Amino acid sequence: MGEQVAAEPENATKATNSTPGEAATGRPAPTRAGAEKKATGAAAKKVTGGAKKTAPAKKAAPAKAAGAKKTVAAKKAVAAKKAAAGKQAAPAKKATRAKSAPVEAVPAQAALAESARAAKATAKPESRTALVRRARRINRELADVYPYAHPELDFENPFQLLLATVLSAQTTDLRVNQTTPALFAKYPTPEDLAAANPEEVEELIRPTGFFRAKTKSIMGIAKTLRDEFDGEVPGRLEDLVKLPGVGRKTAFVVLGNAFGVPGLTVDTHFGRLVRRWKWTDETDPDKVEAAVGALFPKSEWTMLSHRVIFHGRRICHSRKPACGACPIAPLCPAYGEGETDPEKAKKLLKYEKGGMPGQRLKPPPNYPGRPAPPLGAG
């Protein structure tokens, strides 16, 4: 026990005179100067090592610079191509503007017509009720535009109207009106015409065209009236259509205007307009008559015929309708088929609407236009 106590102070002394490092490793502890040298050396190594590690980065720098140069060159090349393409495309742009210039000058009505047609192309089919309402509204509008509408053949009795209507086939009412005064003056009754010399009749009606065939028709009518109807024009449809050269159209003209019996006159103008207005797609006159007649009260048939025919002769022409001057344009499915510019459309108007003479030499008192000139006067 005593030996152990004596050894402890010796160990304690050694521990007191040594550094912590020496006590841990058993080696002499380095001095402060040595430690500073080691620290300086380590720092130098770190710096040297960092420099060595960064050296390859310096070698790579020229490569990056070269890539940057290539990129700049490529960008310049692309820019040059774009500039060249822009110069080449410039004339095309100018040409496009030049071509589109007329489109900008198109009247607003034409643009509206285009949009209206596009809307109609995608619109639902018109119902029967809507068709009847639109058709009757067109009739009312035409009544306001043509309050003076009338048959455009000069006549003083049913016989003269019957002959004038037969002669109007394949010619104008104006030409008939210029021709019939001499005919009626020489043959005022069916009996007179039935006993006439055919060659003399042919010469009188020659201006109307197809004069030989028409002579045969009107002389046949005169003979039938003399022999079967006591020289009087019958007032019934079934009797009129028995006369030579008389069909339903001619019969309804006579019935409606000489006897006050309602009827539709389906002539060329009437059929063309009712199809243009989508009242019917039929082309056969009898079917057109039935289809249109179903849209209106019977009492309107005769005047409806006059209004539609008036409109077809003055505004809604076959080849070039005056859409820009048409009073029923908003109701017309075919708006835009003709001239839509108002000023240009006005130049297309005919007869009293265009400031020109009408077709009758003796028009009704309420007719706003000028009478037609007699044959040979212009």
- Active-site pick, 154, 173, 214, 267: 267
- Alpha-carbon distance of 264 to 292, in angstroms, equals 9
Distance CA 135, CA 115 (A): 22
Q: Are 258 and 158 in contact (CB under 8 A)?
A: yes
Q: How many CB atoms lie within 10 A of CB 378?
A: 7
Distance CA 323, CA 345 (A): 7
User: Residue 352 gets which letter from DSSP?
Assistant: G
Q: Cα–Cα distance between 148 and 367 in angstroms, integer?
A: 6
Count other C-beta atoms under 10 Å from residue 363's C-beta: 21
* Helices 128-145 + 301-314 axis angle, to 10: 70
Read off the tokens for 329: 């344009």
**154, 173, 249, 353: which one is catalytic?**
249
Decide if 362 is catalytic: no
- 249 noted as active-site residue: yes
Which residues are part of the catalytic machinery?
249, 267
